[in-house]
Structure 1
Amino acid sequence: MNSQMFRDSAYNGLWKQNPGLAQLLGLCPILAVSTNIVNSVSLGLATILVMAVANLAVASLRNFIPYEIRIPVFILIIAALVTVVDLGFNAYFHSLYLVLGIFIPLIVTNCIVLARVEAYAAKNDALSSTVDGILMGLGLVWVLALLGGIRELLGSGTLLSGIEMVIPGLEGFSVFGDDYPGFLIAVLPPGAFFALGCLIAGYNAINTHRAARARLKPARPGPAQGQPAAEVTQAAG
């Protein structure tokens, strides 16, 4: 995997083909878990781990998996990895495990994981597939973190609430003070839809603005038919 391929994968995963903003995959966990930053990022990191190892396993075994049964085999691999992650959360981050609840096992049915395994890992080498899984997961993580931060800040006026479940000794902090009444709809399901809609609108606006600038960018003049390139360069100078 050369540097250009890595840059393309990074751009696709983090922006162009972002799972949460462009492909709109995995909306169930995105909307349900993003009540604060800690929950959002924790589930995103678990998804990265599953995506990276699943892509590595599928890319390594793709020549040995019959085409007709590839989807059941892919789901079996993902389910085994999710089981390991689920047991690890239960053992080492039990309080966070209770908060995330069913959404860790539901990574098995997450469209992001299965779609990337089918679309990329089943057709490419192990290294490229692993990097692709990590970068796609990072694209999901930053969307989850931003969405969770917006909802937590507006809903309860805090940031990093619950961080002690991951790193003992640390505590979240109040941004607007203890007297902040909170904006209840921000932490309810409608608030998740509104916040995600605003992020998608901003994402589309940025892409539209960039496309407009690219169209307006003047093209470098080339040699006209029958005119030497040196004359065009001299005229342009």
Structure 2
Amino acid sequence: MASKTSREIIRDGLWTNNPALVQVLGLCPLLAVTSTVVNAIGLGLATLMVLMGSNLAVSLIRNFVGESVRLPAFVMIIASFVTCAELLMQAFTYELYQILGIFIPLIVTNCAILGRADAFASKTSPGPALLDGVMMGLGFLVVLVLLGGMRELIGQGTLFVDMNLLLGPAAADWVIRPFESYPDVLFMVLPPGAFVGLGLLIALKNGIDNHLEARRKLAEPTPSASGSKRVRVTGNVS
């Protein structure tokens, strides 16, 4: 495959080929746990860790694994890193781990992770593979946090509630309440609100892309109306 520059890898992960907004992968956990920002950050960090580790490991073994066992080997690698993420969360953020529940083990089946391992990491060197894992993970994390913030703010009228579950007692006072006597909007906390929120984020990205494309076309030089050079005729006409 044609090698990508670091700039292209960064742009793909964060914007052009974002796993959530463009590839539309990993939607099950994305829609299920983003009712609050802390849930979104917890799942996003776990996914980022697994993406980084699996991409690097797959790239390192890419020349030693046969075609017949390629996908099972990738799944085993991903499952190993998911187990590490589970154990770390159980040790340091146990209450958050309980809230996220089954969606941490389900990272093994996340199509975004297996897709990057098969489509990119297995065909390139460790450096670009690791960078791709970082950027794809960050792109997924950003969408999770934006969706979680939107749903928490509209649904409950708060931001950063229960951040102490992730960052300890020091973050217990980080709660922001922009509105007084806010009537909870249950729709945004429930799964239908997640679909609506994600749809708005996808529409916003597409709108920005269309605007940038229109500006690029306006900035391009336009050819002359005639499309050819004028020829000057000299001499006497009798």
Of 185-194 and 201-210, deviating more is: 201-210
- Alignment-derived partner of residue 140 in structure 1: 140
SS at match of 1:82: helix
Unaligned runs of 5+ in 1: 227-237
Task: Look up the equivalent residue of 2:116 and give its one-letter code.
Answer: R
1:68, CA displacement in angstroms? Answer: 1.4
| Residue deviations 1:120-145 (CA, integer Å, cap 9, x gap) | 00000001100100000000111111
Q: Matches of 2:28 and 2:124 in 1, distance apart?
A: 28
1:169, CA displacement in angstroms? Answer: 2.3
- Alignment-derived partner of residue 179 in structure 2: 176
Task: Look up the equivalent residue of 1:209 and give its one-letter code.
Answer: H
| Residue deviations 1:105-128 (CA, integer Å, cap 9, x gap) | 000000110000000000000011
RMSD of aligned alpha carbons: 1.8
Q: Please show how residues 23-62 of structure 1 align to structure 2 within 5 Å.
A: 23-62=23-62
1:220, CA displacement in angstroms? Answer: 7.7
- Alignment-derived partner of residue 193 in structure 1: 195
SS at match of 2:199: helix
- Alignment-derived partner of residue 231 in structure 1: none
TM-score by length of 2: 0.89
Q: Matches of 2:21 and 2:220 in 1, distance apart?
A: 30
Identity across matched positions, percent: 47
- Alignment-derived partner of residue 233 in structure 1: none
Larger Rg: 2
SS at match of 1:173: coil
Unaligned runs of 5+ in 2: 230-238
- Alignment-derived partner of residue 130 in structure 1: 130
Runs of 4+ in 1 over 4 A off after TM superposition: none
- Alignment-derived partner of residue 10 in structure 1: 10
1:212, CA displacement in angstroms? Answer: 1.6
1:218, CA displacement in angstroms? Answer: 3.0
Task: Look up the equivalent residue of 2:214 and give its one-letter code.
Answer: A
Q: Matches of 2:205 and 2:34 in 1, distance apart?
A: 18
Task: Look up the equivalent residue of 1:64 and give its one-letter code.
Answer: F
TM-score by length of 1: 0.89
SS at match of 1:158: coil
| Residue deviations 1:36-55 (CA, integer Å, cap 9, x gap) | 11110111111011000100
- Alignment-derived partner of residue 159 in structure 2: 159
Q: Matches of 1:62 and 1:126 in 2, distance apart?
A: 10
Task: Look up the equivalent residue of 2:184 and give its one-letter code.
Answer: G
- Alignment-derived partner of residue 210 in structure 1: 212
Of 212-221 and 98-107, deviating more is: 212-221
1:152, CA displacement in angstroms? Answer: 0.2
